[in-house]
Amino acid sequence: MSLDSIEAINPATLEGCVISGMTKDITAHKRAEEAMQEINHTLQTFIQVALLAIIALDAKGRVTMWNSAAERIWQ
């Protein structure tokens, strides 16, 4: 967390209570997150419309995803 992206809010008094806080600009992080979601959506669409069977396995060999071409093979 860099200090240039954090803005300190000066303490304020409200009916005898002290309120203070900090804010951080997360605009770049949110944009990167949205870009990753768009890339993921594009990749998922490509996998589903591919003519070749695509099957994804996890580290234990369990099927985690397959596309419609792979589904047609096992119908």
Dist CA 72 CA 31 (whole Å): 38
pLDDT of residue 36: 97
Q: Could you tell me which residue, 6 or 16, shows the higher pLDDT? A: 16
**Percent over 70 (pLDDT), the chain:** 79
* Structural domain count of the chain: 1
Q: The domain containing residue 60 runs over which residues? A: 3-73
**Segment 31-45 mean pLDDT:** 95
pLDDT of residue 24: 87
* 50 pLDDT above the threshold of 70: yes
